[in-house]
Structure 1
């Protein structure tokens, strides 16, 4: 599991105006910590390390240490509010983690074994990604950074479902806890779709033009002959 530490301080100047001033200073990002037995706390986190962290997929499925005014807490990301037009995070929500309490998180899926997949190599199948992550439940210490989806044994027409995934010890699927009807597919190997190429379109147009020409009534040429005779 990746190790992330963010630093910051408690925000005492609250409200929308205060958040705007904080963002304009361009040094910190307004955020909140909630959950557990403590009251929600407004904080400001240092921007540089935070922006580097959110560029990494693992950040969103890892335990994060928040060092706020020297007080450390373990949290996970719950939500990021982003600017509608600019690559900026306007607010971050963090959930406190209790080592003795299970939490639910969306964990990304990493497909492996594509180079050995018979359905792709020998049967000309196409890989379709049906899900990029799944929701799991586990204690914080068991939280996986990602889950592997091994497709090396798949053949054309095969589908892997959530129940086919090898989950680490202590990790369960939230979907499967609701019953077999929720055992959704995550990847499949299907026949390639045959699209019409530009060359095919040109050939079809030429053929259609030829058919149209051959279907023209012969009366046109006969009328011309009659006119020539008259002349």
Structure 2
């Protein structure tokens, strides 16, 4: 599944210009990386706002249509208004299909209700992490990682080394020697 984002190049920059864009229903942003110059862009607010509600938008490789030219990008940062449902700014990073990238990938927990810790001992399962950093080629980047809690015993934890990843993908923390816990029963 490819998510497409439509943007236009922005000529006028600065605080006042960004404020005028936001009043007109647009979102200022920037596209950078892959050894190319950074480009200031503008996007339609409503289409971006509703696309950002999808979990896959934050960790998947996106197809950015920039004035008719298609570029593969990752969403690297976004700024939201403190109390309004409004996107203030977005940053996209261009990616090269031949280079490995590091991206945040969501964790989906399943079978907590049938784990022995919950079923037999009345314990609760705590999610310590909701996402992890995965290093892979853009084509091998998973949309999410499933964490199976069906064998979780009372007082045990599930660590990064227990997660099942697709081929050619690795966890950045494990590569650094940190086997962090992602879920535990308490």
1:40-79 equivalent positions in 2, closer than 5 A = 40-79=38-77
Mind listing any 5+ residue stretches in structure 2 that lack a counterpart? none
Query: Which TM-score applies when normalising by structure 1?
Result: 0.78
Deviations 1:13-65 (A, max 9, x none): 11111111100111x21110000021000011122221111011111011111
In 2: Cα distance, 1:100 partner to 1:48 partner: 33
Q: Relative contact order: is structure 1 or structure 2 higher (C-alpha 8 Å, sep ≥ 6)?
A: 2
Tell me, yes or no, if structure 1 residue 23 matches structure 2 residue 22.
Answer: yes
SS at match of 1:40: strand
How many pairs does the alignment contain? 186
In 2: Cα distance, 1:22 partner to 1:49 partner: 15
SS at match of 1:94: strand
Aligned position for 1:187: 183
Q: Is the 8 A contact 1:6 1:46 kept in 2?
A: no
In 1: Cα distance, 2:125 partner to 2:161 partner: 19
Higher helix share: 1
Aligned position for 1:106: 104
Deviations 1:167-208 (A, max 9, x none): 1111101111111xx111111112xxxxxxxxxxxxxxxxxx
In 2: Cα distance, 1:167 partner to 1:8 partner: 33
In 1: Cα distance, 2:159 partner to 2:166 partner: 16
In 1: Cα distance, 2:34 partner to 2:59 partner: 19
SS at match of 1:98: coil
Higher strand share: 2
In 2: Cα distance, 1:132 partner to 1:85 partner: 24
Query: Which TM-score applies when normalising by structure 2?
Result: 0.96
**CA drift at 1:85:** 2.8
Mind listing any 5+ residue stretches in structure 1 that lack a counterpart? 191-231
**CA drift at 1:84:** 2.2
Poorly superposed stretches of 4+, deviation over 6 Å: none
**CA drift at 1:3:** 2.0
Deviations 1:62-97 (A, max 9, x none): 111111111110101000011223221111000001
SS at match of 1:99: coil
RMSD: 1.0
1:17-166 equivalent positions in 2, closer than 5 A = 17-26=16-25, 28-166=26-164
